[in-house]
Chain A
């Protein structure tokens, strides 16, 4: 066993400090150490995207990063995006447009989609499919995920216009 290291990072706005072995993957830090269980473990091989979180403005598969690498960074998980009393427009849209069935991929899908819409506020279907290519869903066939993201984009753009 190697020496444990001091890690300090911010998750959903809250400072966290702990000692971890260097080999501890971030997804385990989130789920087992910090009890933040929104990000899921799907394939654990950097393919499925169920573990997607946002780290310093980048969508990252947290199964492919060590917690020590994230030292000093700011992380947002699905828990930091919305909650049952205050859903994010993407969460509302996924619910209304049947963007999920079993729901296992959904936290990763929505976390990735927040970043996609930040970078491309008015995406075409092709841009959505390309931008969501790192997230796999085995239920929906993706059509309703595309519809949900389109609906959320329209909602968010309308809200932004109304605010201006």
Chain B
């Protein structure tokens, strides 16, 4: 399992990264922890003639919590998400999700930026970030721009990031209410058969707002506005759960693969969403 030969670069700053990207175009890829990219290079499913390692580039390894938002640098690892006390307080859904990603060794290396930028439909953070209505910051030679997580994903491995841009940070509006990240996987380290991210705000015994996104049930993460809307104004009773699941099933588009046929994936998606809503509601 040896990848094809490539040139390796470890620039010290973003200017160095951007000039390499400008020079080599889509023959170059940036890498943080490498735990999505390196396996694909070993399988020779990813061809990367020029590999740019971001580990020495500063300013992307911090978690900043302010009054109304959370900023997570692209190089923050899943382990750091799990261990961060402030984050556990401000947005516990992040560690609940991160704990369900891969295994301890992979979480020491795998980063938030890599997880969201890679565009793999199996990654957990994209759906989570759509649920939280996060904004991604990308930088290119023309400067920075912001892209909403809900507008970022165009297809499997295809995103709104241009080839010569680097995703540097994720900004999350301070989450409110109850939360849950529920994931069905075949075994430790596997991608989801189905996963659901849910945030619910309650008031006076009723659901005031709900945000729902699903993972690995289409070639992109699926933010289901209709599923969230189905809960609003209800007491999250059986009828509301049914309506939310029906709305969600109308938005996903699973395909048959080694995790099962379409009917099974729809079934699992429904169960997982019900569990996620129930847990989020119990915490709301």
Contacts A44-B42, A64-B35, A134-B103: A59 and B2 contacting too (C-beta < 8 A)? no
Stretch binding the partner chain, chosen from B6-14, B61-69, B243-251, B262-270: B6-14
User: How many chain B residues touch the partner (CB < 8 A)?
Assistant: 27
Query: Is B3 on the interface with A (CB-CB < 8 A)?
Result: yes
Segment at the A interface, from B105-113, B114-122, B140-148, B166-174: B105-113
Contact of B1 among A45, A47, A61, A133 (CB under 8 A): A45
Once the chains bind, are A44 and B1 in contact (CB under 8 Å)?
Answer: yes
Q: Which residues on B sit within 8 Å (CB–CB) of A49?
A: 103, 105
Chain A residues in 8 Å Cβ range of B104: 59, 112, 116, 130-134
Q: Is the CB of A25 closer than 8 A to any CB of chain B?
A: yes
Contacting B at CB under 8 A, from A115-160, are 116, 130-134
Q: Within 8 Å CB of B39, what residues of A?
A: 45-46, 64
Contacts of B51 in A (CB 8 A): 22
Interface size on A, residues (CB 8 A): 32
A-B pairs with beta carbons under 8 Å apart, 27 shown = A2-B8, A22-B5, A22-B6, A23-B2, A23-B4, A25-B1, A44-B42, A46-B38, A46-B189, A49-B105, A58-B109, A59-B104, A59-B105, A60-B105, A60-B109, A64-B34, A64-B35, A64-B38, A65-B109, A68-B53, A69-B34, A69-B53, A130-B104, A131-B104, A132-B104, A134-B102, A134-B189
Whether, in the assembled complex, B209 has its beta carbon less than 8 Å from a beta carbon of chain A, the answer is no
Cβ of B105 and Cβ of A134 under 8 Å apart?
yes
Residue of A with least CB distance to B2: A23
- List B residues 1-48 near A (Cβ within 8 Å): 1-8, 10, 34-35, 38-39, 42
Verify A23–B3 contact, CB threshold 8 A: yes
Task: Tell yes or no: A3 within 8 A of B by CB.
Answer: yes
Instruction: Give the residue name and chain of the B residue nearest to A115 (CB).
Output: B104
**Per-residue CB proximity of A96-108 to B under 8 Å, as 1/0?**
0000000000000
Q: Which residues of B contact A1 (CB under 8 A)?
A: 5
Q: Does B85 contact A (CB under 8 A)?
A: no
Give the docked Cα–Cα distance between A134 and B108 (Å). 11
Q: With an 8 A cutoff between CB atoms, is A76 at the interface?
A: no
For B39, give the chain A residue with the smallest CB separation.
Answer: A46
Please name all residues of chain A whose beta carbon is closer than 8 Å to the beta carbon of B2 when the two chains form the complex.
Answer: 23, 25
Give 17 A-B pairs besides A45-B1, A59-B105 with Cβ atoms closer than 8 angstroms: A1-B5, A5-B8, A22-B8, A23-B2, A23-B3, A25-B42, A44-B42, A46-B39, A47-B189, A58-B109, A60-B108, A64-B38, A65-B109, A66-B8, A66-B38, A68-B53, A134-B104
State which of B38, B79, B188 has its C-beta within 8 Å of the C-beta of A133: B188
In this assembly, does A21 line the interface, its C-beta being within 8 Å of a C-beta of chain B? yes
How close is B89's CB to chain A, nearest CB, in angstroms?
21
Using CB atoms, name the residue of chain B closest to A68: B8
Closest CB in chain B relative to A146 CB, distance in Å: 15
Chain B residues in 8 Å Cβ range of A77: none
Whether B55 sits at the interface, judged by CB under 8 Å, is: yes
B5 touches A2 (CB 8 A): yes
Interface pairs A-B: 8 shortest CB-CB: A134-B103, A22-B8, A58-B108, A134-B105, A2-B5, A44-B1, A133-B188, A133-B103
Query: Is B4 touching A61 in the complex (CB atoms < 8 A)?
Result: no
Whether B105 lies near A52 (C-beta < 8 A) is yes
A17 within 8 Å of B (CB atoms): no
Most chain A CB within a 10 A radius of its CB, from B4, B39, B104, B188: B104
How far, in whole Å, are A64 and B5 apart by their CA atoms in the complex?
A: 16
Note all chain A residues with C-beta closer than 8 A to B35: 46, 64
Cβ B5 vs Cβ A23 within 8 A: yes
User: Of residues B5, B53, B102, B105, which shows the largest number of chain A Cβ atoms within 10 Å of its Cβ?
Assistant: B105
- Which residues in A have their C-beta under 8 angstroms from that of B3? 23
Q: Are A65 and B8 neighbours in the complex by a CB distance under 8 Å?
A: no
Minimal beta-carbon separation of B115 from chain A (angstroms): 15
Q: Which residues of B contact A112 (CB under 8 A)?
A: 104-105
Residue A30 at the chain B interface, CB threshold 8 Å: no
* B128–chain A nearest beta-carbon distance, Å: 20
